[in-house]
Amino acid sequence: MANHLRFLGRTVMVQNGNVEAAYGALNSSRGRSFLPSACRGVSHDGLLEAVRRRRYYEKPCRRRQRLAYEACRRVYSAEMGRKIGFLARGSRQDPWPGC
């Protein structure tokens, strides 16, 4: 039953084959849903990117390159977030006392 409710929370009717408008409607309904799993929207699930990516064939070498790039970007973003979080702390000691 829980899976069925999650599916219903993400259901949008496609009119006249206009899939892009349906994606927009699904993303805009992000905050209005009463289901917690449906509040994330399509962009946070990666569904929109997956559908757009499968529109055309992706060669295996390009897929490996894309996956390696995404992994590097995740590592870089996590490290940068950690550094910014460290620098933004107000309770850390002054590294150069007396200056």
Ordered DSSP codes for 48-69: HHHHHHTTS---HHHHHHHHHH
pLDDT above 70 for 3? no
* Share above pLDDT 90 across residues of the chain, in percent, rounded to a whole number: 28
The tokens describing 45, both together, are 């699930």
Confidence at residue 50, expressed as pLDDT on a 0 to 100 scale:
82
Residue 30 pLDDT exceeds 90:
no
pLDDT at 39 over 50: no
* pTM for this prediction: 0.52
Q: What is the DSSP string of 4-28?
A: HHHHHHT-----TT-HHHHHHHHHH
